[in-house]
Amino acid sequence: MSELNATVSTSNKDHAERAEVFNKDEARVNWHDQTLWFIRSKRDKAAHTLAEWELLREAASQIKLNVLDNLFLYLQEFERNAMTNGIKIHWAADANEHNEIVHGIIKGAGVSHIVKSKSMLTEECHLNEYLHTRGIDVVDTDLGERIVQLAGEAPSHIVLPCIHWKKEEIGELFSKHMGTPKGNSDPQFLTGAARANLRQHFMSSRLAITGVNFAVAETGEIVVCTNEGNADLGVQLADVHIACMGIEKIIPKRKHLGIFLRLLTRSATGQPITTYSSHFRKARSGQEMHIVLVDNGRSERLGSDDFRNALKCIRCGACMNTCPVYRRSGGHSYHYAIAGPIGSILAPGLDMKKYADLPFASTLCGSCTNVCPVKIDIHDQLYKWRQVIVQDGYVAGGKKTGIGIMDFVFSKPGVYRFAGKVGRWMMNHFPFVVNNKMNPWYKQREMPVAPKQSFHDWYKERQRK
């Protein structure tokens, strides 16, 4: 399984090609799909316990819209309040600067072994690799992230990093890296082994990096949500805490947490709340606390009417769990730190050439938009990205020619009717022209039966009678 991923992840294959590879093992696809659908069902159940669920979504959406429009003010308010509480604030224009800043703090602390809890922002910036090449050993402490880290992979889901791993495979991995008995795949046992192993890392690490779920402008505090307690354990045993966040993670007031915390975990996993929702306002005595505010394309995206709403995202992953394409292609098919529907509308903004395939990895079914707790118009943005990608020339020439022909045929009724007639006649008399391996439809599906008459023909006949 990890070998498969290693081959695919270093290639230039696009989503469709990777998804095709993923689909070679149908039993595994079923398992992946059913596991994630189950999480979607848990989300549904949890949402239905709150009669006011749709009101919460609307309020969260409006709050986030207010934040995006006033980010210039809120970020400064946040900075002011955080600094009053003794927290050091850093600003990073892009991923590289973020990595430099974090590295600088680590070097300044004189450490080379650190622990990190879940942060998609650090994934986006490829922080781990950056630090690794500079001699810093980063241990990802979230169990799912630790598993993919040991396997040399990227996480495939922003909330459930190793959802694509089976327990037998994890057992093998632990046996190799932690010396657990071969063949033991009991989740309880394996988690216990990871607990013991990671405890040692917590105890010996003097610097902890965390992500940020919410940053409250009004108070300068940040909130970090985990089920495992790994963010808290790491921070409380460290001399230095670095919290990395995208600038859009701001919320205006502390009381707004009463809305967002009611939406976040229910949307993500169907739980009412994560085990820990920790509010860091001031560092513990003797500890240094830093927050790195990262732009990396966000302020630019704010300038786009069509695509700015993607910045409302609170990284819950609900869109991935519901997406029928994600469930049947896996996170690695998207070849970006963030997969699924939200990844597909974020990535092209950063590198249109590299990620031109992602907005097309969708049937535009709209399920994502309707599970999104902050009402991002995801499927509308997917459609709009397609227009931009084509107009900017990032679509294969063959496709353009095909569409040109389509436009010609469909704008000339006579040509259209003639083409239809010929096509149907060919299908009836020379079926092998379409019923062959060159026709992707025909690989696993029969072609529709071609009737002798079109509706138009029938109608004309009826008129004559």
Whole-number Å distance between alpha carbons of 184 and 253: 48
Closest CA to 61 of 306, 344, 260, 262: 260
The site map against another protein for 364-383 (x = CB under 8 A) is: xxxx-xxx-----------x
Q: In 3-state terms, the chain is what percent helix, strand and coil (to 5)?
A: 55, 10, 35
239-263: b (≥16 Cβ within 10 Å) or e = bbbbbbbbbbbbbbebebbebbbbb
Residues 184-243 that bind another protein (CB under 8 A): 187-188, 190-192, 194-195, 198-199, 202-203, 219, 227-230, 232-233, 236-237
Whole-number Å distance between alpha carbons of 388 and 51: 39
**What tokens were used for 324?**
């029928």
Interface with another protein includes 25 (CB under 8 A)? no
For another protein, the closer CB: 131 or 238: 238
Q: Which of 83, 406, 426, 433 binds another protein (CB under 8 A)?
A: 406
Interface with another protein includes 71 (CB under 8 A)? yes
Interface with another protein includes 53 (CB under 8 A)? yes
Closest CB 163 distance from another protein, rounded Å: 8
**What tokens were used for 176?**
């190799």
The site map against another protein for 79-118 (x = CB under 8 A) is: ------------xxx---x---------------------
Residues 242-301 that bind another protein (CB under 8 A): 247, 252-259, 261-262, 269, 271-282, 284-286, 293, 295, 299-300
Interface with another protein includes 449 (CB under 8 A)? yes
Whole-number Å distance between alpha carbons of 239 and 83: 18
Looking at 128-136, 175-183, 325-333, 428-436, which segment touches another protein (CB under 8 A)?
A: 325-333
Environment class of 436 (CB within 10 Å of its CB; exposed 0-12, middle 13-18, buried 19+): exposed
Interface with another protein includes 147 (CB under 8 A)? yes
Residue with tokens 């509480």: 85
Interface with another protein includes 166 (CB under 8 A)? yes
DSSP code at position 443: G
Closest CB 209 distance from another protein, rounded Å: 15
Residues 233-252 that bind another protein (CB under 8 A): 233, 236-237, 247, 252
Closest CB 303 distance from another protein, rounded Å: 5
Whole-number Å distance between alpha carbons of 250 and 246: 9
Whole-number Å distance between alpha carbons of 319 and 365: 12
Interface with another protein includes 26 (CB under 8 A)? yes
Closest CB 41 distance from another protein, rounded Å: 9
For another protein, the closer CB: 107 or 387: 387
